[in-house]
Amino acid sequence: MTQALTVSLGDRSYPIYFTGSKNALAATITALRESGKSLRAIADQGALNTQPDFLRKAGFQEDEILVLPAGETTKSIDHFAQVLSFLAKGSINRDGSLFAFGGGVTGDLAGFTAASYLRGIDFYQIPTTLLSMVDSSVGGKTGINLPEGKNMVGAFWQPKAVFIETALLTTLLDREFSAGMAEVIKYGLLADNLLFKKLEELDQLKADSPELIEIVRQCCALKAMIVADDEKETASSGGRALLNLGHTFAHAIENAAGYGDYLHGEAVAIGLNLATQLSVELGQLEGNAVDRVSNVLKKYDLPIILKQPLDTNALIDAMGRDKKNRLGQLRFVTMTEIGKAVTTEEVDLELIQKLLKHVGAAS
């Protein structure tokens, strides 16, 4: 087994497997079974449709797999309850393990269920989308949505291991791949100027591009470093909150539009455009950055404006419920240069309203 990267969290440290990830997964499942532990898996229906034999070949039986619908609406209280019942009916005890096979929705739901069931069982991530490979499968943020806002119920619960098999991306829809690229672009903007320049210079990356695996590893390494320094986002400034570049806007867009209208990465792309504009308006960033960022987003067929108008007040209200806010004030992640992000508070509300109207929000 090839362990390419470790998320360093003391006795809760865990590996992210790249090369040889299928062998590492099969060996992990075999070892757990030999030790007498019960296993269950949650699988995204879309991932199973394109990879119907993956879990079976890894060592799972059909009755050990709960298949859930694809899409953001699966991150709900109803599906959370369904997964809890699936574990309870299978008599899974505290030494059982739950595996997530799917994108960020599946991983977030599985992780939160694992954190909650019997006050915590082990879980493992098998991400099947680019977005989940570079972002949501690493770091232990788990949760579900409420009608009032995204990820408003959740827990920090680290996986025991992450198995990244980029070959799974060859069956991903183009729209899903593009959505994942929004998170890749985010990492370049917040922490790695050279990565961003690489994305500017490369031809459009595809699932079978030879450069992709190293870029995925690069993003995971950046996230692992940030998570190790500020696991539960408690730093008074900077820290893990920087990973939310563009996300205050993005989560508000998803909420106001109704979950499922935008893929998460599509909303993030608009959020990155807005965060760049905000950074320029605040005098933190040079004006040409707006064109540089929007050009890279458009290269990957990502939106930079709203598909249709959303109510400005609804967007502002959703931002007011964002978890990153402090002392009742909106808190944004902005950039002082491409490759360096900061947390910014006390932003004038009229400026936010103006920027939202620039991307198509309605008065």
Predicted confidence at residue 176, as pLDDT, reads 96
Can 247 be counted among the known catalytic residues? yes
- From the candidates 72, 240, 254, 273, give the one annotated as an active-site residue: 240
Can 183 be counted among the known catalytic residues? yes
pLDDT tens per residue, range 82-121: 999 999 999 999 999 999 999 999 999 999 999 999 999 9
Can 244 be counted among the known catalytic residues? yes
From the CB of residue 323, how many other CB atoms can be counted at a distance below 10 Å?
A: 17
- From the candidates 186, 217, 247, 331, give the one annotated as an active-site residue: 247
Please determine, for residue 35, whether its predicted confidence score (pLDDT) is greater than 90.
yes
- From the candidates 40, 75, 150, 223, give the one annotated as an active-site residue: 223
From the CB of residue 115, how many other CB atoms can be counted at a distance below 10 Å?
A: 19
Strands 122-127 and 149-156: unpaired
Can 240 be counted among the known catalytic residues? yes
Give the sign of the dihedral formed by CA 152, CA 156, CA 162, CA 164. Answer: positive
Angle at 313 between CA 311 and CA 319, to 5 degrees: 110
Can 251 be counted among the known catalytic residues? yes
CA distance 341 to 3: 30
CA distance 79 to 350: 39
pLDDT tens per residue, range 277-290: 999 999 999 999 99
- From the candidates 145, 244, 255, 273, give the one annotated as an active-site residue: 244
- From the candidates 72, 165, 231, 233, give the one annotated as an active-site residue: 233
Angle at 179 between CA 319 and CA 47, to 5 degrees: 115
Q: How far is CA 96 from the centre of its chain?
A: 25
Can 323 be counted among the known catalytic residues? no
Lowest mean pLDDT: which of 27-31, 65-69, 148-152? 148-152
Q: Is the pTM of this model over 0.75?
A: yes
- From the candidates 141, 186, 217, 331, give the one annotated as an active-site residue: 141
- From the candidates 72, 165, 176, 183, give the one annotated as an active-site residue: 183
- From the candidates 62, 119, 346, 350, give the one annotated as an active-site residue: 119
Contacts of 234 (CB under 8 A, 6+ apart): none
Can 141 be counted among the known catalytic residues? yes
